[in-house]
Amino acid sequence: MLELDNVVRRFGDRCVVDHVSFRVDEGRMTGFVGGNGAGKTTTMRMIMGVLALSGGEIRWNGTPVTAADRRGFGYMPEERGLYPKQTVLGQLVYLGRLRGLTARAAERSASDLIDRLSLTEKRTERLESLSLGNQQRVQIAAALIGEPHLLVLDEPFSGLDPHAVDSMAELLREHTDRGVPVLFSSHQLELVERLCDDLVIQAAGRTLARGTADSLRRRGRVRHRLVTGGPTDWVRGVKGVDVITSENGTALLELATDDVADRLLAEALRRGPVREFAEIVPSVADVFREMTAA
Amino acid sequence: MTTLTTETTPQPSTGPNSDPTPDPTPEKPSPTMRTEPPAPQPRIPSAWRIVTAREISVKIRDRGFLLSTLATLAVILGAVGLQFYIASTTGKITVAAVAPASSELVKQAESLADRSDQDIDITLRQESSEEAVRAAVRSGDVDAGLLRTPTGWALLGDTDTDSTAATWLGAAVQANAMEANATAAGTSMADLAKGATLQHTLLSPDETPETVVRMATYFFGFLFYLAAVLLGVSLATSIVEEKQNRVVEIIASSVRLRDLLIGKIVGSTTLALAQMVAFTAAAAIGLVAAGHEETFGQVTAGLGWFLVYYVVGIAVLACVFAAAGAIATRTEDIQSTTTPVNAIVAVVFIAGITASGTAQSVLSFAPLTSTITMPARIIAGDTAWWEPAASLLISLAAAALVVLGAERVYRRALMQTGRKLSFRQALKLAD
């Protein structure tokens, strides 16, 4: 389990990451969302030890994270790049060995990943001779080599076509199924909503919200739609109901408390047939817009 | 709709920083939860050795490196060949002459040269007239012309006077004239030369001659300079490689940057030294083959000390070049960041080979300059036992300090992808 506890990062006078706290649990896919300049990349660089912390603490399984811990973390940086003149296999083995694998273990892990990512025919080719899509796969392999204990992926889905997104998601799911915590950043909110178990929403260096996708959606204004056989103008008279629109037997409402729903439904049924009474939960994207607009 | 597993009550989206406490998310009861300690620690070589191994294996497969090495070897072998050619032609001249007495003079010139350990060979070409001699000289068929004049002899050249002919024919003419003049004055050459011999006595015949020390100093000073040329840009470029292709973040999250720098320094230095060995071996073979065994022997007389200082000096130099690479962001910056280092190397080279007396003693303790000056002092025999040791320690300490400084600069310049930094700016940045 990775924990960030009031992590701060300043560049000169500018505070880029401002007391950020969240955690990435075993077997959970945690999405890290926020607009440009939210401090996502800086936060991830601090997790990986590429940047030092100005304050706060990062813990791995309860103790402050060490260089040895980080050697067991898989990382895909925002700025992609490997050794263009080295072969696919050669550089994966090298990166594996720097991560502390023996020569043989690195070789085995690299070969497995190459096969898994359908790069078998390219294993002895130089990276620069590969297509961009294949280079991206090698980049993924570089993050996954040596069976990491934690994955930190900065915008892993950017630039991928829908098929590649699916196979990447599947690959990440394999890791969470094995209990590996995965943290990835993205600004594609729909994608994050679809894939993630947990979410951390960050803006301007601060954590705005964190929790499961569902709990976050419920932080937004939940509305109700009521469709009846007759007119719906009567809803304006019900206590605790804020009418947003009401026409042609369809009303969009915001209810003050949950028990208002019961009273409202009872009243509607008393007045005639009810075709639909449904909760409209906003999407994560809606919540995100609402929060960052505030 | 999934069940709500995290926060018990939805918090209103108030100030984002209102809740800095860790997330109260309960542990997910997961059967696959892993509690094993992170990062396997099998017995593996230290990270810098892995970096060094990659550095060398990539470099020796690099076409540019191979081509430049072969090209330099070719230039050296070419220079050796030229030596051979020059050695085989110098001292061999053809002289055109008319008078029969000239053959006597040529023989005399050759024997005089022989007595001075000079190997010359004058071929005499008899011509029918003075005109023919002039024509032969003008056409370039002969190197010089020799004519009898009423007062003595005249040496003809077309545009230049041939120096071999001028020296040794001149000596022969002089000897002949003095012999004749002595006889005319009623004495002999032997009497005239009595007491004209200068005795040579060396007070310290066992110590290394100063000329040899000087020669070795020049030789190693030059090798040091050559190493700087071979090593400098290639090491700085290799240091900047990871930043240029942006793999640096992955590397920085796996190993200490110090290990990366040391690995690269050791790798590049090893290769540069291997190149130096190849080049000097080619040159040495050339020297021996061209018959300069003596020079070779003199230069290698103090080789032991020079080698020790040379290797340490190159290591210090490599660290300085690594710092120059650490500050650069892209290979385009290398040119400007290595300029001050190249200037230092030039100053070290010149100061090292020219310094003497107190200046030399002082420089023999300074890093880099000690590479050339301390061995010179050792060979000259004017050092106390502790001086070489102290000088080496200072160099090694300087190398360590420079590496640590380079690591700081590298770490701080790591994320500055947009611009090139000055050393001062880089040191001011936070980690």
CA B179 to chain centre: 52
Interchain contact B28–A (C-beta under 8 A): yes
Q: What is the per-residue pLDDT for B38?
A: 44
Q: Give the model's confidence band at B21: pLDDT under 50 very low, under 70 low, under 90 confident, else very high.
A: very low
List B residues 183-242 in contact with A (Cβ-Cβ < 8 A).
241
Comparison of pLDDT for B151 and A41, the residue scoring more: A41
In the chain, the amino acid numbered B226 is L
Q: What is the per-residue pLDDT for B296?
A: 65
B36 phi and psi, to 5 degrees?
-65, 155
Q: Which neighbouring-strand residues pair with A153?
A: A76, A184
Check if the beta carbon of residue A119 is closer than 8 Å to that of residue A141.
yes
Flag whether B86 is in a domain.
no
Q: What mean pLDDT is reported for chain B? A: 79
Q: Do B64 and B96 reside in the same domain of the chain?
A: no
Check if the beta carbon of residue A72 is closer than 8 Å to that of residue A99.
yes
Flag whether B241 is in a domain.
yes
How does strand A29-33 pair with strand A198-203? parallel
Among the listed ranges A76-80, B127-131, B145-149, B220-224, which one has the minimum average pLDDT value? B220-224
- Measured between CA atoms, the residue of chain A closest to residue B54 is A94
| Sheet hosting strand B153-156, strand order edge to edge | B121-126, B92-97, B144-148, B153-156
CA A172 to chain centre: 12
- Stretch B288-292: mean pLDDT, rounded? 69
For residue B4, pLDDT over 60 is answered with no
Question: Which of B149, B184, B219 is the C-terminal boundary of a domain?
Answer: B184
Which residues of A are less than 8 Å from B7 in CB distance? 211, 215
Cβ pair B250:A206 closer than 8 A: no
- In chain A, which ranges are E strands? 2-11, 14-24, 29-33, 55-60, 63-64, 73-76, 150-154, 182-186, 198-203, 206-212, 223-228, 241-247, 250-255, 274-280
Question: How close is the nearest chain B Cα to the Cα of A171, in Å?
Answer: 17
Q: What is the per-residue pLDDT for B32?
A: 42
Cβ pair B22:A82 closer than 8 A: no
Q: What is the per-residue pLDDT for B34?
A: 43
**What burial letters (b/e) apply to B125-157, b meaning 16+ CB within 10 Å?**
eebeebeebbebbeeeebbbbbbbeeeebebbe
Check if the beta carbon of residue A235 is closer than 8 Å to that of residue A260.
no
Q: Do B388 and B422 reside in the same domain of the chain?
A: yes
Please tell me the distance from the alpha carbon of residue B249 to that of residue A47, in angstroms, as a whole number: 12
Please tell me the distance from the alpha carbon of residue A235 to that of residue A220, in angstroms, as a whole number: 22
Flag whether B29 is in a domain.
no
List B residues 396-425 in contact with A (Cβ-Cβ < 8 A).
414-415, 417
- Measured between CA atoms, the residue of chain B closest to residue A208 is B16
Flag whether B423 is in a domain.
yes
Q: What is the per-residue pLDDT for B311?
A: 83
Which residues of A are less than 8 Å from B6 in CB distance? 198, 211-212, 215
Flag whether B32 is in a domain.
no
- Stretch B279-308: mean pLDDT, rounded? 70
Q: What is the per-residue pLDDT for B39?
A: 46
**Percent of chain B surpassing pLDDT 70:** 81
For residue B69, pLDDT over 50 is answered with yes
Interchain contact B66–A (C-beta under 8 A): no
Q: Would you list the DSSP string of A180-204?
A: --EEEEES-HHHHHHH-SEEEEEET
Q: Do B309 and B410 reside in the same domain of the chain?
A: yes
Question: Which of B137, B168, B184 is the C-terminal boundary of a domain?
Answer: B184
User: Which of the given ranges, A78-92, B208-222, B267-281, has the highest pLDDT on average?
Assistant: A78-92
Which residues of B are less than 8 Å from A219 in CB distance? 10-13
- Measured between CA atoms, the residue of chain B closest to residue A62 is B35
Q: Do B250 and B381 reside in the same domain of the chain?
A: yes
Q: What is the four-CA torsion angle of B321, B322, B326, B327, rounded to 10 degrees?
A: -20
Q: Do B159 and B265 reside in the same domain of the chain?
A: no
Of A21, A105, A149, the CB nearest to B21: A21
Residue labelled with tokens 């960030």: A4
Flag whether B128 is in a domain.
yes
Flag whether B375 is in a domain.
yes
Q: Do B308 and B215 reside in the same domain of the chain?
A: yes
Residue B106's CATH number: 3.40.190.10
Check if the beta carbon of residue B246 is closer than 8 Å to that of residue A77.
yes
Return the closest-CA partner of residue A264 out of A227, A290, A239, A244: A239
Low-confidence ranges of chain A (pLDDT < 70): 294
Residue A136: left if φ>0, alpha if ψ -120 to 50, beta else—which one? alpha
Among the listed ranges A23-27, B277-281, B397-401, which one has the minimum average pLDDT value? B277-281
Q: Do B147 and B220 reside in the same domain of the chain?
A: no
- Secondary structure letter of residue A130 according to DSSP: S
Question: Which of B151, B184, B217 is the C-terminal boundary of a domain?
Answer: B184
ipTM for the complex? 0.83
- Measured between CA atoms, the residue of chain B closest to residue A6 is B20
Q: What is the per-residue pLDDT for B36?
A: 44
pLDDT in tens, B312-361: 888 888 888 888 888 888 888 888 888 888 898 899 888 888 888 888 88
Q: Do B148 and B276 reside in the same domain of the chain?
A: no
Please tell me the distance from the alpha carbon of residue B143 to that of residue B120, in angstroms, as a whole number: 13
Flag whether B7 is in a domain.
no
pLDDT in tens, B162-190: 888 888 888 888 888 888 888 888 888 88
Cβ pair A218:B10 closer than 8 A: yes
Domain count, chain B: 2
Which residues of A are less than 8 Å from B32 in CB distance? 26-27, 177-179
- Measured between CA atoms, the residue of chain A closest to residue B31 is A179
Q: What is the per-residue pLDDT for A65?
A: 95
Cβ pair B22:A3 closer than 8 A: yes
Of B34, B246, B247, the CB nearest to A26: B34
Q: Do B374 and B233 reside in the same domain of the chain?
A: yes
Q: What is the per-residue pLDDT for A123?
A: 92
Return the closest-CA partner of residue B39 out of A4, A63, A172, A73: A73
Of B17, B33, B255, the CB nearest to A98: B255
Q: Do B162 and B308 reside in the same domain of the chain?
A: no
Q: Do B337 and B405 reside in the same domain of the chain?
A: yes
For residue B421, pLDDT over 80 is answered with no
Contacts of B253 (CB under 8 A, 6+ apart): A48, A49, A50, A70, A73, A75
Q: Do B138 and B240 reside in the same domain of the chain?
A: no
Q: What is the per-residue pLDDT for A26?
A: 94
CA distances from A211 to A19, A30, A193, A266, A286 (A): 17, 9, 12, 34, 16
Domain that holds residue B393: 47-76+208-428
